[in-house]
Chain A
């Protein structure tokens, strides 16, 4: 057995604390699977462009207690919030009607039985760090939304790492089951106040029930010495809709594996995302759309701006199964490199086994458009500012497509400050 991440101690420590036999077996099986998996190298297709050396050299441990965090990122707006600090739930606002939340760490005997069923039919795929999450899982937040419920306020899962998280691995699982015809907005944010090496390892599982409608944000806002390796699995039931927006800023290494399965026909997915690595950061999005049934539609747009010495990886796979006739699926990935040392590796993939479908993908790596640049200049705007405005516009196109809601208003200034190194350049972005 190999343990390149030196996490075996943490796993055994966790096991020792629990009297829940089923859970322990579940974690143990994941640990043996993880330990038996050869550590990825450049030759491992799924990790070809994303080296994991920054995961090594730290003996990862789990937090016992949440540290204290100020939690100022993405705060102060009208929502129902569940806050986790260092993977422990610290704040759990009053829940609206139709919503129930259960915590793995506090499950009653009766709840344990239900948890066992839910965890056993895990939607999660076979991803290395999803397995790791299972092996070290101390907390899961399971949200159930009753059929027909329409939530006015967004539900915000606010995950923060405190300064105490230094050297910690923080595996957390969020499960959301949306009843049929329900509607809601889920906002997941990740932030870090730690200044040492931290490893956040979240797994989100979403089941969008028949004709339900979910607006979803998954925002990786951590900066500093952070590794974020996580996954999102979603299942779309018949005629459901999911609009999922992703963003990755900062950090040493970020990788998100997104798998969305069309399991009921007539569902629609809009999957958008932006990645903006700079400095020596590395961001990797691996997305897979599984069209398993007929009449599904998917539209995916990811854009990235890669600066300085940063690297980005995008892999967008569309898989149309044999029976998924009449599928419409499209993917677009556009990238801007803004430095001679920056790097992008992109691979849109189509794998198609049904003939009566329309699928397309496109990927580009380019510079800012020269014609547009001249338009700015001809109006007296400086080249520098024009470049900032155009880069921002390149990303903002995706923000504009969001429903008009508070998230958009919170994101804009965040992005604006990111684009303009000097304040006056950001002047016209607000």
Chain B
């Protein structure tokens, strides 16, 4: 049964082309001068440079984490270039009309609405190309509602009070090796501020694209939802197919003040490497949010790309009655490795968290869920529910679950369940007996397996995510 599926499916990474554009890329290597150069290119104020240097000095003393269930040659941090920008973007942010059409075509080709009059007009997009933001749509409409949505490099100039107050407040510079590196060299990313009581009138989204070879992308996103505000934010990522591994080390910080609600969705489709495990992105990301009283932070992620993923979007449930959610689908195929999960840190009373994680491993890949649920002494009446399921496709892959549960409060309730199974012959037979071909059957079964997570995605993303799974699974049934 399986062989015939193998035969007529072949795997294809559809976002793997290269944009032919002239770039200014600084020479490889990392030292204080490089950081000064990045800061100077962005004409940053002195405090920002100091902040970066502080992070860099801390980073020098830190070690790369070893505890994740992934094996890869350590990147040579001196062989990477830390800044690359399309030449046309050298003179800083421009209005959308002035952006190099070749750049915009890159995003159009990826199916991203770059013109405000397009069908998906309900979504505002920030486009980040290597180290710079090339354009942001719907800025005026958002501004009218009081919402700030702009590249973070711009926010440093325009909203220094907000940036100074919140940057590093959730993920401190020294939080971990990659966060420290990011803090030192971050180039661009999105900044969002939703004022008190405002419900953001449209979905916000950022598309990250790594184009240049031998560069790392270090984006930084900061979202602040003021009291009683609400926002839904989407993030998408792609990169060309290249034989070398490339590094992507991002930091995302979310601040949900009292009664605010932030929904953060990711469809991560960085280049995963080829069928032999050559090339692909190292995706080492730190994402964390802090929820104040009655606030809610919800992370949804669909992770299908990257050669190695190391990522734990987390919630610090600081305020009483705050809520944290994590919905994840992580699919690995070929030689991909993923070690992903979440941390829910319950500090406040009656805080609640839900974790639904679905891992699918195929071929030679390795897929781990790693999570922490922590009930601090003050977490009276707090609750957590965790469900982790793994699906194995083929006998060469691995699926692992490492949930840490720490409780110091007798009134807190934690429930964790995990299962591992395979797409059963019975399920396949049933589908086929009813005339459904094997390819369709697997994709149906896998989609069903992921349903609880897809439900959480904004509509247009849910469809995309389903398709992405199908593509990623191609040739995986063996």
Binding site for B on A (CB under 8 A): 45, 49, 322, 325, 335-340, 342-367
Contacts and interface: CB of A to CB of B under 8 A. Distances in A.
Contacts of A339: 410
Nearest to B375: A365
Interface string B41-63: 00000000000000000000000
B420 A352 contact: yes
A393 B110 CA distance: 60
Contacts of B397: 353, 355
A338 B412 CA distance: 11
A49 B406 CA distance: 10
Interface in B414-443: 414-422
Contacts of A340: 377, 409-410
Nearest to A351: B400
A349 B375 contact: no
B407 A356 contact: no
Contact of B401 (A49, A322, A355, A361): A361
B400 to A, nearest CB: 5
A360 B401 CA distance: 10
Contacts of B466: none
Interface magnitude class on chain B: 20 to 34
A350 B421 contact: no
Nearest 10 pairs of A and B residues by beta carbon: A355-B392, A337-B410, A350-B401, A365-B414, A359-B420, A365-B407, A360-B419, A355-B422, A363-B416, A362-B417
A362 B418 contact: yes
Contacts of B395: 322, 325, 354-356
B161 to A, nearest CB: 38
Contact of B420 (A325, A335, A357, A365): A357
B232 interface: no
Given A322-B395, A355-B392, A367-B410, A350 B405 contact: no
B398 A351 contact: yes
Contacts of A322: 395
Contacts of B377: 340
Given A340-B410, A349-B401, A359-B420, 15 more contacts: A45-B67, A325-B395, A337-B407, A342-B408, A343-B406, A348-B403, A350-B418, A351-B401, A352-B390, A352-B400, A361-B416, A361-B418, A363-B415, A366-B413, A367-B413
A347 B411 contact: no
Contacts of B392: 352, 354-355, 357
Contacts of A342: 408, 410
B122 to A, nearest CB: 41
B405 A356 contact: no
B410 A350 contact: no
Contacts of A363: 403, 405, 414-416
B399 A350 contact: yes
Contacts of B403: 347-349, 363
Nearest to B478: A355
Contact of B400 (A325, A349, A356): A349
Contacts, number: 109
A364 B406 CA distance: 11
A344 B418 CA distance: 19
Interface in B370-409: 375, 377, 390, 392-395, 397-409
Contacts of B420: 350, 352, 357-360
A365 B412 CA distance: 7
A347 B401 CA distance: 9
Interface string B127-150: 000000000000000000000000
Contact of A367 (B393, B404, B411, B417): B411
A322 B397 CA distance: 9
Of the listed residues B409, B412, B420, the one surrounded by the most CB atoms of chain A closer than 10 A to its CB is B420
Nearest to B387: A362
Contacts of B393: 355
B422 A343 contact: no
A364 B408 CA distance: 13
Contacts of A346: 405
A49 B372 CA distance: 14
B27 to A, nearest CB: 36
Contacts of B422: 355-357
Nearest to A361: B418
18 contacts: A335-B407, A337-B409, A340-B410, A350-B420, A355-B392, A355-B422, A357-B422, A358-B419, A358-B420, A360-B417, A362-B418, A363-B405, A365-B375, A365-B405, A365-B407, A365-B412, A365-B414, A366-B414
Interface string B466-478: 0000000000000
Nearest to B395: A355
B167 to A, nearest CB: 28
A352 B418 CA distance: 12
Contacts of A351: 398, 400-401
A348 B416 contact: yes
A361 B403 CA distance: 10
A343 B421 CA distance: 32
A344 B395 CA distance: 36
Contacts of A360: 417-420
Nearest to B406: A345
Nearest to B377: A340
A353 B394 CA distance: 10
Given A350-B420, A358-B421, A360-B418, A365 B413 contact: yes
Contact of A345 (B404, B410, B411, B421): B404
Contacts of A344: 405-407
Nearest to A311: B408
B384 to A, nearest CB: 9
A175 B406 CA distance: 35
B415 A366 contact: yes
Contacts of A350: 390, 399-401, 418, 420
Nearest to B385: A364
Contacts of A49: 406
